[in-house]
Amino acid sequence: MTPVVAFFNSRGRVGTTTLVYNTSWMLRRQGINVLTVDLDPQADLTSAFLDDRLIEELWLDGDHRTVFGAVAPLFGGAGDAGEVADPYVREVEPGLGLVPGDLSLAGIEEPLATAWHQADHGDARALQMLAALDSVVQQAAAAVQADIALLDLGPNLTAVSRAALVAADHVVVPLATDLGSFQSLASLGPVLRTWRQGWVDRRVRADGPGLPEGRMQPAGYIVLQRPVRVDRAVGDYDRWLKGLPAGYHRSVLGEAGTGAPPAAEDPRCLGVMKHYHGIGPMAHDARRPIFLLRSADGAVGAHQQAVQNAYGHFADLARRILDAVGLGELVRG
């Protein structure tokens, strides 16, 4: 089974898609075969990898060559519902694959919510539906011989997010240096524990083979620094940066007390990343990671220095993530 890492926070605008996109490219640069799966119904990760023309072809194709197309047969309704179809994987480059997202994924929200309650009573079909996204991830990972799979989840506590986390061995929490991120931890931690235990209970009652473990183990957090605004004091950013480690340890890890080391010294902090707001749009237009931008893409002068800095930052982040999920030997070897 391929190890699966979900990037998830219930708050939006914390850089989740940016982190998944650039980290996947960096892992590939380190010789690791990577599968990325877009499980956000907004499909922003797909838009980062692919141009609009290609996305239109994938979405308007009669078979929906997307994650939704793979699970759609299972959600066809009672009586004629089928099985999870072989997922389509778009090769971005050799060793880096994408299971494209799809706005239609939002359409399975209600069936998944119903299935969660039905599975509590041992309904086999409901359990199969809840494990559908795991089936897609593992089938796609096996097809491209991925060493690791990265999941991009939407910023909400929905049934789709819960089913996506059932597929996850590890959870990385992206955070921004603001009040919203700090407050999001208070709800995210308890919800993760509730979903994890809820799946364990359902899996035990089912007492059958083939269901994912749904470990959802906290792997750590990543802080994406916001650009300093003229209407907000620098001290505000410093205050939230100092508060995030304690919030993570208390709410996500369930540790008593309010003490925690600073982010720079916290082993649970996988990285404090710059916002790179100056080269972010440039990277999106070029369909390239920010650390591989060239002068032809517009990265000249100070932007070129930012590109070089970004390479080092994401190389370090990729290594820390691998260590946190027990795959550090893939690079060291």
In a domain, 299, yes or no: no
Is residue 313 situated within a structural domain?
Answer: no
Q: Is 68 exposed, middle or buried (0-12, 13-18, 19+ CB in 10 A)?
A: buried
**330 is written with which tokens?**
């893939």
- In the block, residue with structure tokens 């996500």: 252
8 Å CB contact between 35 and 89: yes
pLDDT of 94 = 97
Q: What b-and-e string marks burial along 226-249, b requiring 16 or more CB atoms within 10 Å of the CB? A: beeeeeeeeeebeebbebbbbbbb
In the chain, how many domains are there? 1
Query: Closest Cα to residue 252, out of 291, 218, 282?
Result: 218
Domain contains 60: yes
The predicted-structure confidence for 164-176, as pLDDT tens digits, reads as follows 999 999 999 999 9
Alpha-carbon gap, residue 167 to 70, rounded angstroms: 15
In a domain? residue 288: no
Distance CA 187, CA 58 (A): 35
Domain range for 193: 4-276
Cα distances (angstroms) measured from residue 73 to each of 68, 294, 295: 9, 43, 46
CA distances from 287 to 28, 50, 87, 200, 292 (A): 16, 7, 23, 40, 10
Q: Nearest 5 degrees, angle CA 308-CA 314-CA 317? A: 150
Integer-rounded Cα Rg, in Å, for the chain is: 20
Q: Residue 201: give its domain's CATH number.
A: 3.40.50.300
Residues 32-42 as b/e (b if ≥16 CB within 10 A, e otherwise) read: bbbbbbbbbbb
218 within domain boundaries? yes
CB atoms within 10 A of CB 155: 19
| Mean pLDDT computed over 13-22 | 93
> For residue 321, what pLDDT band results from cuts at 50, 70 and 90?
very high
Position 95 pLDDT exceeds 90: yes
Structural domain contains residue 321: no
User: What is the pLDDT confidence band of residue 79, given thresholds at 50, 70 and 90?
Assistant: very low
* Two tokens, residue 283: 């990277």
64 burial level (CB within 10 Å; 0-12, 13-18, 19+): buried
234: confidence class by pLDDT, cuts 50, 70, 90:
low
Name residue, tokens 């517009």: 298
Location of structure tokens 């955070």? 175
Q: Does residue 248 contact residue 268 with C-beta atoms inside 8 Å?
A: yes
Residue 323's contacts (CB-CB under 8 Å, 6 or more residues apart) are: none
State the average pLDDT for the chain. Answer: 91
298 found inside a domain: no
Q: What is the pLDDT of residues 279-301, one digit of tens each?
A: 888 998 899 999 999 999 888 98
Is pLDDT at 182 greater than 50 in this prediction?
yes
In sequence order, the 6+-apart residues with CB closer than 8 A to the CB of 180 are 11, 13
DSSP letters, 138-190, are HHHHHHTT-SEEEEEE-SS-SHHHHHHHHT-SEEEEEEESSHHHHHHHHHHHH
Angle subtended at Cα 51 by Cα 46 and Cα 53, rounded to the nearest 5 degrees: 115
Q: What are phi and psi of 305, to 5 degrees?
A: -65, -40
Give the per-residue pLDDT at 257: 64
Question: Is residue 289 included in any domain, yes or no?
Answer: no
